[in-house]
Structure 1
Amino acid sequence: MDFALTEEQQMIVDTARRLGEDYGLEYWAAQDSAKTFPQDCWSAICETGLANVLLPEKYGGAGLGMLEMALVVEALAEGGAGSTLGQLFMINPIFGGVSVAQFGTEEMKAKLMPKLAAGELNFCMALTEPDAGSNTLDMDTFAAADGEGWRLRGQKIWITGVSTAGKMLVVARTRKADEVEKPTQGISMFLVDTDREGLSHTPIEKLGTHTLSASSVFFDDVRIEPHELVGTLHGGWRELLQVLNTERIVTTASLIGAGKLATRLAVDYGNERKVFRNRPVTSYQGVQFPLAESHAELECARMMNLRAAVQCDLGQPYGSEANMAKLVAARAAMHAIERSMQTMGGMGYAREYHVERLWRDARLFKFAPVSEEMILNFIATHDLGMPKSY
């Protein structure tokens, strides 16, 4: 498979790299400390068209593919943001863009896509539940038919970006699990206003990724109108998987960027830091080998992620590739960041050297948006033909 970039793709990467460096380490450290949404950076990303590479040209996008999206996210993350940069793309071009562009009505596309492209409207997705966790099919949130629309009741947890979103993609049951032949049946997606009567949310205090809030969300008899259905009524499971698999690619790209950023910080520090016989720290193999190993791991994860992106763009199955890339990238990024911290010694623990933020943010993605264990379950059953274990 040829991963040589076209001239257009290289221009996109160069633009993303420059913008990522413009909003570099100090910017993200300040946003992290203040726990504020990086609006200036996101507006710049939208203004340059980087957020819109995947959106249809008809609605203000570039009409390109997941490959370009992965390249953009990786370059931006490597510029200074780290892995949390990927969350900006998850909530908007993926949760909002992919769901609406692929499964929304023409009216929905015409109304929402230009606002997404311009950075005027943020999205979020309400999927995970307190009692279901990774077992999405065990969700209790239910949208009961009410005239031509529905009434939504239930609770979600660990929902990213609710406080800055105008629209929420809600995944709910529209048929009870005991009323369908398969648990994948009776699931639907809706796109509702976050300020809708009956919808409330409370913040969750967390270790990292401070630039985007995480919240518990409560639905108390929330009215859903007929035009807010996204995709197929009762048949939204497979459509949801398309959204989630593209989310994997974006997550992986940001992890690779974070790992590369941490490695660069360690090498720059180690090349300048002199020890013992006035030799750079990085002249010792005990320091070189871990960083070199992390670099190799990151490159392998990157190749698998680009393969997943290409297969997605070609309309070929890519779920296994996307999941494997995410598994390897989450581990590789943590290896790279921890080894970079170790290279810096005590200074790696100091906020002013930035690696501690990269560690706090990247740690989330060992179990989110899908855990290592669930990925291994998927590989065991779908790729190796083993019996389902859960």
Structure 2
Amino acid sequence: MDFTLNDEQRQIYEYGARLAQQYDHRYWLDHARRHAFPHEMFRRIAEDGFLGLMVPQDYGGAGLGMTEMALFMEGTANQGVPLLMMVVGPCMSLSLLSKYGTEFHKRELLPAACRGDIQFCFAITEPGAGSNSMQIRTLARRSGNRFSLSGEKTFITGADVADYCLVVARTTPHDQVGRRTEGFTLFAVNLKQKGVDMQRVRIAIPLPEEQWTLFFDEVDLGPEDVVGEIDGGFDILFHTLNPERIILGGLCCGIGRFALEKAARYASERVVFGQPIGAHQGVQHPLARAYTAVEMASLMTRRAAWEFDNGMPAGASANMAKYAAAEAGIEAVDAAVQAHGGSGFTEDVGLYELYPLMRLLRTAPVNRELCLSYIGQKVMGMPRSY
């Protein structure tokens, strides 16, 4: 594996610094505190061609891979600009549609999404089915070649600003299938369609993207809305879950790096008892340990992306990357706040607000316990623990 970046990848990684010249951490933080989606920044990202990073050129994208998407996410997060909507839209939804979508999805929706004219979100979680996604109950009942979708999805990022949602539903109830992985189908649902309603889930975290519960009441869908094979949607999900973990690994590493660089500058300038506080090992060593953890997690994230792009099994690396990056991100922000002392909790510094986001990503979209269980069972060969 060669993790040396080529010129194009380096430009993608460094794009965050260019974006931050106009849309920096202060811009992001202002929107996060107001729970206001940063439309202007996303229009700029669309104009610069980054919404379609993983979409083939034939459908309006750049035709690149998971490595470039992870580099984009880490590069923007390096500037203190974490973009969760990039996870559920360009990474999870658009890349999946480009592989499994209908001609309508590919020729009409994908080019519009790459231009930023429409946005996508992704819906799998339900009130009674989080990590145990086999138990989802949202059902699309068949009548001829059409479907009637009813059910409820929750913790759906950005549903209020999305035009379409990739919805994971059952087309065969779980008590009527031979194997528990059977009977799933994915649909691209127009959220303006009759029978779709939503309610905000109030999250105690400053973020520009809000969380929503979606309600589907006999939403009429046709074969043109099906993504992939009917009843064969579970296999498709593996093409979204690993990328989700990889790209969030990049986000966590970037935010950790942003916090540590901010703390290192402060510790070098802040003088107490006649010398900079960064000269004291009690301040310096926690920052150095966290920096090391961030850089190691970043390497694992790039390994997972490389494996995914090269058609290799990426589940082990993706889970290790997500686990390591979330833990490193929390450690980094915590050490950075501690180094700032009391000022680390002020709005002027703009650092503490990153902690609840990092803490969220230890739990979601897959919690650290399930990552460790995967590693213990699938990688180390121990008995199934859940």
Cα distance, 1:380 vs structure 2: 1.8
C-alpha deviation, 1:33, in angstroms: 2.0
Contact 2:34/2:206, CA 8 A, preserved across alignment: no
Residue in structure 2 matched with residue 253 of structure 1 by the alignment: 250
CA contact (8 A) 1:122 1:164 kept: yes
1:132 aligns with 2:129: yes
Correspondence 1:24-43 to 2 at 5 A: 24-43=24-43
1:268-279 correspondence to structure 2 within 5 Å: 268-276=265-273, 278-279=274-275
**Alignment CA distance shift 1:21-1:80 (3 Å):** farther
Shift of 1:200: 0.8
Q: Which of 217, 220, 236 lines up with 2:217 in the alignment?
A: 220
CA drift of 1:21 comes to: 4.3
User: Which of 186, 189, 205 in structure 2 is aligned with 1:189?
Assistant: 186
Question: In structure 1, what is the Cα distance between the partners aligned to 2:132 and 2:71?
Answer: 31
Q: CA deviation at 1:96?
A: 2.3
Cα 1:131/1:298, change in 2 over 3 Å: same
Could you tell me which residue of structure 1 aligns to residue 74 of structure 2?
Answer: 74
Aligned length: 386
Map 1:50-199 → 2, pairs under 5 A: 50-81=50-81, 84-85=82-83, 87-199=84-196
Query: What TM-score, normalized to structure 2?
Result: 0.97
Corresponding position of 2:304 = 308
1:217-366 mapped onto 2 (5 Å cutoff): 217-276=214-273, 278-366=274-362
Equivalent-residue separation in structure 2 for 1:314 and 1:74 (angstroms): 20
Identity %: 37
Instruction: State the AA in 1 paired with 2:26.
Output: E
Q: TM-score, normalised by structure 1?
A: 0.96
User: What is the one-letter code of the residue matched to 2:295?
Assistant: E
CA distance in 1, matches of 2:167, 2:53: 24
SS at match of 1:216: strand
Unaligned runs of 5+ in 2: none
**Native 8 Å contact 2:16 2:78 kept in 1:** no
Amino acid at match of 1:65: G
Q: Secondary structure at the match of 1:80?
A: coil
Q: Distance in 1 between matches of 2:364 and 2:45?
A: 24
Question: Which segment drifts farther, 59-68 or 253-262?
Answer: 59-68
Q: Deviations over 1:133-188 (max 9, x none)?
A: 21000111111102311111111111111100000100011111121111100011
Change (3 A) 1:213 1:362: same
Q: How does 1:367-386 map to 2 (within 5 A)?
A: 367-386=363-382
Structure 1 position 105, deviation (Å): 1.6
Residues 4, 370 of structure 1: CA spacing in aligned structure 2 closer, same or farther, 3 A cutoff?
same
Asked if 1 retains the 8 angstrom alpha-carbon contact of 2:267 and 2:277, the reply is yes
Is the 8 Å Cα contact of residues 53 and 64 (structure 2) preserved in structure 1?
Answer: yes
Give 1 or 2: higher helix fraction.
1
Q: Distance in 1 between matches of 2:15 and 2:53?
A: 12
Q: Give the CA RMSD over aligned residues.
A: 1.2
Please report how far the alpha carbon of residue 209 of structure 1 lies from its aligned counterpart in structure 2 after TM superposition.
4.7
Q: Distance in 2 between matches of 1:174 and 1:239?
A: 15
1:140 and 1:254 mapped to 2: Cα distance?
31
- 2:7 is aligned to 7
Structure 1 residue 94: Cα displacement: 2.0
Residues 92 and 243 of structure 2 are in contact (CA less than 8 Å); yes or no, is this contact kept in structure 1? Answer: no
SS of residue paired to 2:265: helix
* CA distance in structure 2 between the aligned counterparts of 1:250 and 1:117, rounded to whole angstroms: 18
2 CA distance for matches of 1:94 and 1:71?
12
Q: Distance in 1 between matches of 2:272 and 2:279?
A: 10
Q: Which amino acid aligns with 1:366?
A: R
